[in-house]
Structure 1
Amino acid sequence: MNHVLNGLAANPALPPESVDRLIEVADADLAGRLAGREDLTRAQAVALITRVDDCGVPLAYGGRLTAADVDPVRQPRAALALLDQGRGAPEWARLFAVDPEVRIREKLAACPGLPPDVTERLAADPDVGVVVELALWTQEPGVAAPLAAHPHTEVRRAVAANEVTPPAVLAALLLGEGLPRAERCPVCDRRDGPGAPEPDGPWPPDRDAPPGASCDGSHASASHDVRWAALANPATPAEAAAGFAGHPGHRLRRALAAHPGLPVRAARRLAADPEPGVRADLARNPTVDETSMRRLAEDEDVDVRRSLALNPRVPLDVLARLAGAARIASTLLPRIASASPEEVGLLAASPDAAVRMLVAQRRDLPAAVRDTLAADPDAKVVKSVAPHPGLSEERLRAMVDRHGVHVVTPAALNPDASAALLETLARHEPPVRKALREIARHPRACAAALLVCLTDRRARPLAAAHPALPPHVVTELLCDPDESVAEAAAANPSLPATVMRSLIP
């Protein structure tokens, strides 16, 4: 792999004639980088796929190719990518439906808008993996519904996971009613395959049996998986799902706990579930009733309380109690993001610094609230609000002066930080290494700040890619012993065009 050429292939300032030259010498790695260029012309895309077939997939998904540019026989994966976007030719689908390579048929089965005759053929494919892909990805209820009666449980599980499957069919898969008995499951396939163990013998290490897999003819493990997929499907009728609130399988109860429209009686039973994972999944469910949420707020498990804090409908007073107890990371919580202006004002005026820190994570605060939080006596609050747009340089400097290393990195994240401030932060004593990485990414960073960033091992490749770095420094970095730095320098648009041309063989 030539790291300098790979970097050059991503350089937005690379002249068109140099792009053409790189295409002429491209290997698979280089072609992959070139395929991602935003300025790639259709002619260049065609030249690239002609040289390296494998880059046809990203080119197709990137909108660089049309059906007229692709030969489905020579470039089947690019053709499948176009079919997946609805931009391929219908005759390609018929060609791939009889392809001897299973992976080709599997990929075709996942494509939308297939002709009815192709769908019919794929539904009867002798390889169960092809039928599974069709069952999982079809967007037509009339295709999914009949496959619920397929003899293999893996197909039934795929139907159970597909949200276009009719609710009545999902209920039948969940309850095991109204469908013919399944004949095969993954355990059967492994038992009966070449080199299979004796029926009562141990599984060989190379046969990849799932933990707890079993089959005595009833396909018990696989049937459990079908039910799990149905419970995890939001289209499954909630009333049918609710009966599993007391099921002995905690995996099924976890899937149920996340189901939208969960009946109140089921939610309250799950709120007392002995398994913390079940209660945590329930706590994240935005459709859970308020009584259950308040019970979960008192849960002894910190993960349950943290999950409840992430619920977009958690009552604000409950969230305020959770702020200090749930070990919530520095993140904008959904309920805080949707808070009304009046609620924002109340949160910002809270006597609890943990609550003020939560609202300080918003990036659309009224100027008065933003500035008040910037002057907060608690460093955690100031750290949270420091990246907020609109803060003046004077305020940012005052925040750093008051709280030192705690605020240097957040201040470096502020989109309005000036070049002068970023240079000051880069030279801060004691040094803040994480801040150097953020400064190296900042669009306003100046050359002086970037030169400091080059002294840090992790910030060095980021600084090497920054367009404000002087061209002679960028050129020198092409020979850096760290290949990631050399590649970043080659991708820097400040690299002189004459140097770019000289790098291409």
Structure 2
Amino acid sequence: MNHVLCGLAANVSLPSELVDRLIAVADAEIAADLAHRGDLSHAQAVVLASRVGESAVSLAYAGLLTAADVDPETQPDVALATRARRPEWARLIAEDPAVERPEKLADCSGLPIDVVEMLATDSNVQVVAELALWTTPQTATRLAAHPHAEVRRAVAANEATPPAVLAALLTGEGLPPAQQCLLCDREEAPFVHDPQCSRLDCDLPSSASCDGSHESTRHDIQQMAIRNPATPTEAVVGFVEHPSLLLRWALAGRSDLPSEVCARFAVDSNPGVRADLAENPAIDGALIRALAADRDHEVRRRLAHNPLVPLDVLTDLASATRVGAPLLPRIASASPDEVEELAESPNPAARMLVAQRRDLPFAIRDGLAADSDAKVARSIAPHPGLTEGQLRTMLDRYGVRVVAKVAANPDATPALLEDLAQHERSVQKAFREIARHRNASAPALLACLADAQARRIAASHAALPPPIVEGLLTDADWQVVVEAAAANPSLPLAAMSDLIPRL
């Protein structure tokens, strides 16, 4: 791989005439980067596709090749990438002996009726299953009675399948028994897969089994139907006491569960089931408070991400549980009065949570910026609008604990970023934040180049001096060359031209 030319192919500053020269020398790797250029013209796309055939699929997906540019007989994969725009193409691909092409065609929408019929009666079950996964309610209803259980499994996952059909798939009532499954297609029934199977080429699930009733695939059908939001609530609630953990787990995440079902799951023996329930907006206040005392950390953490968790419960959770850094849904939806209440709370966990918002009123933002707790300072440090003085005060007070967060502030000045890059106790994450910052100056970026990970980011920054960028084109780290230096918009035009061979 020519790392420099691959990087140039992605450079937004590469002029059209140099794109033409690069197309003329492109190999498959360079062509892959060229195909994703936002400024590639139709004419350039046609030339690139003719020179490097492997790029035609990507160009078609990007909409850079028209139907007139494609020969479906010699370029069936390219025709598929255009979503088989012409009916005659779809018919041709549906008959393709390479099964992966009809299978890809089956997930295209708007196929002609006769093509849908061809796919629905295909001899390869994977083609029919792919159609079943994406097809219309009418075809899904028909395929629910397909003799192969794998097709029924796909129908159960299709959200367009009518509710009554999904209910029937759960129980099998009203449907003829399936005659085959993928397991008995390849193994003689009865067969139970050994979880400790020693076959190196074995791709069977550890729980696969078939005694002639296709039980493991039937279990998968039920799991897909329970997860499908189109399946009626009354059809799935009967699985609340099911011995299968996977079925109970699938059910616990549904947002339409009655309170009595939620209450049963709150005492389920498996913490994964309880964790899914904890994040489910279907649970009421009493269950939320009960789950807040759950012994499992993940249950409590997931409860903190429930959009309906009361603020007092959330504050208690944040005080004792690592809930994660992102803005929590309940904090994001807090009213102005609730935001003020949280910001004035004597509990630093409450102040830390609300400090994650990036739309705080100026007075609240400034108050939190002067907070006496380091965790609150870390949360508020990236908030837009903070002055250089506020950020420096935070840095003086808390040092290394807030360096990276201060560096992430979008309004950090070039001078502040330079000081952060030279900070005696700066951390690796701070270098990465500085390296990607829009206000980073050349001195700050030069300091970042000393860090292995930040070097890859800094090398792509437009503020890096051109001579430095050129020097990075021979860097020992290929990622610096490919993903950064050669793609740097400040790379001089003359240097770009010199790097591309002339034919």
Please give the range of the TM-score, normalised by the shorter of the 2 chains.
Answer: over 0.9
Q: Distance in 2 between matches of 1:460 and 1:201?
A: 49
1:263 is matched with: 258
Offset, 1:294: 2.0
Residue type matched to 1:126 in 2?
A: S
Is 1:252 matched up with 2:247? yes
More displaced, 182-191 or 378-387? 182-191
1:134 is matched with: 131
Structure 1 residues 136-158: Cα deviation after superposition (integer angstroms, max 9, x where no partner): 122x1111111111111111111
* Aligned residue among 69, 91, 94 for 1:94: 91
- Give runs of aligned pairs for residues 170-249 of structure 1, distance below 5 A: 170-192=166-188, 204-249=199-244
- Give runs of aligned pairs for residues 17-416 of structure 1, distance below 5 A: 17-83=17-83, 88-138=85-135, 140-192=136-188, 204-416=199-411
Query: How many residues get paired?
Result: 497
Q: Distance in 1 between matches of 2:417 and 2:193?
A: 67
5+ residue gaps, structure 2: none
Structure 1 residues 151-195: Cα deviation after superposition (integer angstroms, max 9, x where no partner): 111111110011110000001111221110011112102205xxx
Offset, 1:199: 5.5
Relative distance call for 1:323 and 1:234 in structure 2 (3 A) is: same
Structure 1 residues 337-360: Cα deviation after superposition (integer angstroms, max 9, x where no partner): 111111111111111111211111
Residue type matched to 1:150 in 2?
A: H
Q: Distance in 1 between matches of 2:274 and 2:117?
A: 43
Alignment identity in percent? 62
Residue type matched to 1:25 in 2?
A: V
Work out whether residues 352 and 376 of structure 2, in 8 Å CA contact, stay in contact via their aligned partners in 1: yes
**TM, length-normalised to structure 1:** 0.96
Work out whether residues 283 and 293 of structure 1, in 8 Å CA contact, stay in contact via their aligned partners in 2: yes
Work out whether residues 193 and 209 of structure 2, in 8 Å CA contact, stay in contact via their aligned partners in 1: no
Offset, 1:200: 7.8
Q: Distance in 1 between matches of 2:169 and 2:413?
A: 60
2:469 is matched with: 474
Counterpart secondary structure, 2:424: coil
**TM, length-normalised to structure 2:** 0.96
Q: Distance in 2 between matches of 1:446 and 1:153?
A: 62
Offset, 1:289: 2.5
Relative distance call for 1:199 and 1:296 in structure 2 (3 A) is: closer
Counterpart secondary structure, 2:210: coil
Structure 1 residues 49-99: Cα deviation after superposition (integer angstroms, max 9, x where no partner): 222222223322323222222222232222212217xxx112111110101
Residue type matched to 1:90 in 2?
A: P
Relative distance call for 1:57 and 1:336 in structure 2 (3 A) is: farther
Q: Distance in 2 between matches of 1:249 and 1:44?
A: 56
Work out whether residues 80 and 105 of structure 2, in 8 Å CA contact, stay in contact via their aligned partners in 1: yes
Counterpart secondary structure, 2:201: helix
CA RMSD, 1 decimal: 1.5
Counterpart secondary structure, 1:164: coil
Q: Distance in 2 between matches of 1:63 and 1:28?
A: 19
Residue type matched to 1:187 in 2?
A: L
Relative distance call for 1:282 and 1:299 in structure 2 (3 A) is: same
Q: Distance in 1 between matches of 2:143 and 2:190?
A: 31
5+ residue gaps, structure 1: none
Offset, 1:250: 0.7
More displaced, 316-325 or 410-419? 316-325
Work out whether residues 193 and 206 of structure 2, in 8 Å CA contact, stay in contact via their aligned partners in 1: no
Offset, 1:36: 1.0
Relative distance call for 1:89 and 1:11 in structure 2 (3 A) is: same
Regions of 4+ moved over 3 Å: 197-205
Work out whether residues 238 and 260 of structure 1, in 8 Å CA contact, stay in contact via their aligned partners in 2: no
Relative distance call for 1:240 and 1:199 in structure 2 (3 A) is: closer
